[in-house]
Amino acid sequence: MRRHLAEIVEARLSRRGFLGGAAAAGFLATAPGVAAGSAVPPFRFDEIAHGVDATHHVAPGHVARVLLRWGDPILPGAPAFAPGAQTPEAQMGQFGMNCDFIGVLPLADRGGRERMLLCVNHEYTIPTLMFPDLFDAAGRFDPARYTARHAALEQAATGCSVVEVERGPDGWRHRVSPRNRAVRAWNSAIAISGPAAGDERLRTAADPSGTRVIGTFGNCAGGMTPWGTYLTAEENFQFYFTGTLPEGHPEAGAFRRYGLGGRGDRYPWGRFDARFDMGREPNEANRFGWVVEVDPLDPRAMPVKRTALGRFSHEGAETHVNGDGRLVIYMGDDARNEYLYRYVSKGRVSRDRRANRRLLDEGVLSVAVFDESGLDWRPLVFGEGPLTPANGFRSQADVLIEARRAADLVGATPMDRPEDVEAHPTNGRVYVMLTNNRDRTAPNPANPRLANAYGQILELVAPGGDHAADRFGWEMLVLCGPPADPAAGARWGAGTSANGWFASPDNCAFDPMGRLWVASDQGNAWPLTGTADGLWALGTEGPERGVGRMFFRVPVGAELCGPRFARGGRTLFLSVQHPGADGTKEWAPFARESTFHDPATRWPDFQPDMPPRPSVVVVERADGGVIGA
């Protein structure tokens, strides 16, 4: 079986995977800004080099400036960032920690200044880089010093922010605006809608209706809807719950499937807040792991957890309007050997903004099953196939709360950590970032490498451009990793330079010309490649198919997240997450763990009284032209 699958992948790669991808897929490579029938234009910029150091780097001819930093005031009345005197109340008015996804919503110009709302996720916190008072006199981290104040501060720094930014003669800056808002894990009320709303498994002592929850956290990637709302995706919610379920509790099996239990040392919130202690409030964990819709245009509107989109470790929720008007959302479950999902709305996108919200409550969630020649989308619908009372499902609410187990039963294909999934705007192709999977013990056609340290990118092909079709085709765009190492099994397009290859693809974005850009996240494994993470341009057409070019590099210990283009491709927003955190013991100039008092870098301030601060960076060409063109 193993040899057969390897031969399949080899044949597909040599036959079509790195040659004439558009012709093989049978679609024209068109995109906004590109005339119908024309090819996607090539990238034209000089690459930067692989490497690791304390700051960021961008391709020549481009300028990268820090726009928003952890702790910057965003709400009226918020104080300036004081890292030695943080409070939850102050943090709720400030930009959160570890920025990830970025969504952009243009506003009307004012006074000759272009304005936009940035919708930014804050995925998680790092106490060792956040709190100066958790260290003893010898500089050792002491978790016994952790208090209720630290728990509240972490909650206030996790979630998402909506921030108005404007571009004036001196470039971009953020504004403390009434439009801004902070939706965080601390004190933010969120409604629950869709098939699981009100279900008994979502009811708690604090919310006997099962329709309202406090907070969102684990916010990784996301998406923007056609009607201008923001989808923030809850990913690793399992790390936040401590304690154990009562003996014989009916949720025990479901909790094991989500990895819940015994992880409270990572975020010991349950020591101070009963809802994070599974022994005291078992159902609270079922209220996380969803996609949350936020309205950036109305700071008073309550965010909504949309349960029809299923519950799992959501990496993102990228939207696409199908040719028949239905809304399609692609989602990855970012864990080893988990699955790729698709949601298709029942109704069609209209000009009625309020009516469009119902599209996220009524539709069909499906999971991908790959074979050598394509993939089937198998629906997760109560009463169909094995999703019946005989297997413990009493309703569609149960199917969605236990989406992973439902997907197991319908035969979903285990994937190599599916992260960002994004559809090309026009040509019917969808790109899946598969980060890595060191736990793979059996290959399958779409995940051909055992102990996969480097990841790959799949290209899905919607037949006739129909994203709601039951069966898709697929191609392997690249197998990531060092091409010079035969053991890596990497595959890149001819012409990829010594700096153009990368590992662990995570987020991706299309620019207005339909060109693909890929961000990487190697975590602590970056010493395996010897280079920090960053952003690469990646060709998908003709001679440039599978050819990477390094465009941006982050500081040591950081990852690059949330690439988002604006202004016709002349502006690019990027998130630099957890600078100074990952793998710093392996960086020879530092060679130790990074802490608040002794960080591997003090990017972006480089001031002795400031820790490293996750930040949003804005990139533009020095001459004002289109980025990478």
**3-class SS letters over 139-172:** CCECHHHCCHHHHHHHHHHCEEEEEEEEEECCEE
The tokens describing 393, both together, are: 């499902």
Single-letter amino acid, residue 261: G
Residues 6 or more apart in contact with residue 401 via CB below 8 angstroms: 196, 199, 201, 202, 254, 286, 307, 311
pLDDT at position 20 over 80: no
Q: What is the pLDDT of residues 50-91, one digit of tens each?
A: 999 999 999 999 999 999 999 999 999 999 999 999 999 999
Residue 605 confidence (pLDDT) = 98
Nearest of 372, 370, 369, 340 to residue 15 by alpha carbon: 372
A 10 A CB-CB count for 135 gives: 17
Which pair of tokens denotes residue 358?
A: 């119902």
- Is the confidence at residue 37, as pLDDT, over 60? no
Q: How confident is the model at residue 15 (pLDDT cuts 50, 70, 90)?
A: very low
Residue 365 falls within a domain, yes or no? yes
CB 263 within 8 A of CB 181: no
Q: With respect to residue 309, please indicate whether it lies within any of the assigned structural domains.
A: yes
End-to-end CA distance of the chain: 45
411 assigned to some structural domain: yes
323: CB partners within 8 A, 6+ apart: 465, 466, 467
**Three-class secondary structure of residue 424 per DSSP:** coil
* Structural tokens at position 188: 């933010």
Assess if residue 213 is contained within a domain.
Answer: no
Q: pLDDT by residue (tens digit) across 326-348?
A: 999 999 999 999 999 999 999 99
Is the full-model pTM beyond 0.85? yes
What does the alpha-carbon distance between residue 261 and residue 278 come to, in Å, rounded to a whole number? 8
Under DSSP, the state recorded for 445 is: T
125: pLDDT strictly greater than 60: yes
Examine residue 17 and state whether it is found in any structural domain, yes or no.
no
pLDDT of residue 261: 83
Assigned token pair, 335: 């864990």
Helices (H) and strands (E) in the chain, counts: 9, 31
Is pLDDT of 38 > 70?
no
- pLDDT of 266: 84
pLDDT higher than 80, residue 8: no
Sheet with 230-234, strands from edge to edge, namely 212-214, 189-193, 304-306, 291-294, 230-234, 219-224
Alpha-carbon gap, residue 420 to 614, rounded angstroms: 20
8-state DSSP, 46? P
Q: If you average pLDDT over residues 297-304, what whole number do you get?
A: 96
In this prediction, residues 192-201 reach a mean pLDDT of: 98
Q: Predicted confidence band at 30 (pLDDT cuts at 50, 70, 90)?
A: very low
Instruction: Write down the pLDDT at residue 31.
Output: 38
- Strands 340-348, 336-338: parallel, antiparallel or unpaired by DSSP? unpaired
Question: How does pLDDT run across 527-557, given as a tens digit for each residue?
Answer: 999 999 999 999 999 999 999 999 999 999 9
523, part of any domain: no
Characterize the bridge pairing of strands 318-321 and 99-110. Answer: unpaired
Q: Percent of the chain beyond pLDDT 70? A: 93
Model confidence at 362: pLDDT above 50? yes
**DSSP for 191-228?**
EEESTTTT-GGG--SS-TTSSEEE----EEEEEE-TTS
Residue 567: what pLDDT? Answer: 97
* Domain assignment of residue 352, given as a range: 219-233+293-476
CB 377 within 8 A of CB 367: yes
pLDDT exceeds cutoff 50 at 126: yes
**CA distances to 507, 508, 540 from 516, in Å:** 11, 7, 7
Non-local CB neighbours of 362 within 8 Å, separated by 6+ positions:
308, 345, 346, 347
- For position 263, what pLDDT does the model report? 60
* 477-509 per-position pLDDT tens digit: 999 999 999 999 999 999 999 999 999 999 999
pLDDT exceeds cutoff 70 at 206: yes
Half-sphere exposure of 1 (CA within 13 A, CB side): 5
φ, ψ of residue 62 in degrees (nearest 5): -120, 155
Burial per residue of 195-230, b for 16 or more beta-carbon CB atoms within 10 angstroms, e otherwise: bbbbbebbbbeebeebbbbbbbbbbbbbbbbebebb
pLDDT of residue 441: 85
DSSP single-letter state for residue 17: I
Model confidence at 450: pLDDT above 50: yes
Q: What angle do CA 419, 423, 425 make, to 5 degrees?
A: 150
Does residue 366 lie within any of the structural domains?
yes
How high does pLDDT run on average in the chain? 93
How far is 23 from 19, CA to CA, in rounded Å? 9
Q: Is the pLDDT of residue 115 over 90?
A: yes
pLDDT at 508: 98
Give the torsion sign (CA, 287, 291, 295, 299): positive
**The pLDDT of residue 28 is above 60:** no
Q: What is the pLDDT of residue 5?
A: 32
pLDDT for the residue 40:
86
- Model pLDDT for residues 244-279, shown as the tens digit of each residue: 998 999 999 999 999 998 665 689 999 999 999 999
Residue 18 in any domain: the answer is no
Q: Which of 216, 368, 347, 346 is nearest to 294 (CA)?
A: 216
> What are 210-230's pLDDT values in tens digits?
999 999 999 999 999 999 999
Residue 13 pLDDT > 90: no
Residue 541 to residue 431: CA distance in whole angstroms = 13
Helix (H, G, I), strand (E, B) or coil at 420: strand
What is the pLDDT averaged over residues 13-28?
A: 31
- Are 505 and 480 within 8 A, CB to CB? yes
Residues ≥6 apart with Cβ < 8 Å to 487: none
Residues 169, 112: Cα–Cα separation, whole Å: 9
Task: Indicate the helix (H) or strand (E) that contains 257.
Answer: helix 252-257
The one-letter code for the residue type at 628 is: G
Residue 416 is predicted with a pLDDT of 98
Residue 227 in tokens: 């009607």
Range of weakest confidence among 78-92, 120-134, 251-265, 567-581: 251-265
CB neighbour burial string for 355-390, b if at least 16 within 10 angstroms, e if fewer: ebbbbbbebebbbbbbeeeebbbbbbebeeeebeee
What is the count of structural domains for the chain? Answer: 1
Comparison of pLDDT for 25 and 115, the residue scoring more: 115
What's at 175, amino acid-wise? R
